[in-house]
Amino acid sequence: MVVYQAVFYLFAAVTLGSAFVVVGSRNILRSAFALLFTFFGVAGLYIMLSADFLAATQVLIYVGGILLLVLFAVMLTQRVGLVSVTNQSQSVFVGLVSCGILAALLVAVIFRTPWVERALEPEGPTTARIGNLLLTDFLLPFEIVSVLLVAALVGAVILAKKEEK
């Protein structure tokens, strides 16, 4: 149990520490690479919640897909010589105050609400059960989301391609 706590605090520290770098760094490349560690930390938290398939999905899609897209967009849109000044912030003080208030409110609500927790039993592997649910109870959202992915990808290509005169 002590090991469980230590690993939880390690993953939480990785997640939140790199998230601080993401929102605080003045170099957008450094923000992008810190985002990598945030995603890995969240994947670790998923594993601790015994969501093994979700953790693998997180690593595959976020780290392998979304982060790569973000890095490509950074490289395509920044002049590399100016990269240290390309990530400016504005009205930082107002943002800090409002986000501090927001976080304090959320934490207060979390600790004051009497959550009804169930008894924990160890969960087996989830992949087969998730596959079964996706093709039975969640079939309609599964199909809709596939159509949406096609539409989003076609739209992205049309938006990003050069219009030729």
Partner 1 sequence: MIGLNHYLVVAAVLFSLGFFAVITRRNAIAVLMGVELILNAANINFVAFSRFVAGGLTGQLFAIFVIILAAAEAAVALAIVIALYRIRRGINVDEARTLRG
* Near partner 1 in 53-92, by CB under 8 A: 53-54, 57-58, 61-62, 65-66, 69-70, 72-74, 76-77, 86-92
Residues 6+ apart with CB under 8 A from 52: 46, 125, 126, 127
* Rounded least distance, CB 113 to partner 1, Å: 9
Alpha-carbon distance 58 to 134, whole Å? Answer: 17
Asked if 19 is part of the footprint of partner 1 (rule: CB under 8 A), the reply reads: yes
First to last CA, the chain: 66
Decide: is 44 part of the binding site for partner 1 (CB under 8 A).
no
Residues 6+ apart with CB under 8 A from 162: none
- Least distance in Å: CB of 36 to partner 1? 11
- Window 83 to 142, contacts with partner 1 (CB under 8 A): 86-92, 95-96, 98-100, 102-103, 106-107, 110-111, 115-118, 120, 123, 126, 129-130, 133-134, 138, 141
Closest CA to 70 of 58, 88, 61: 61
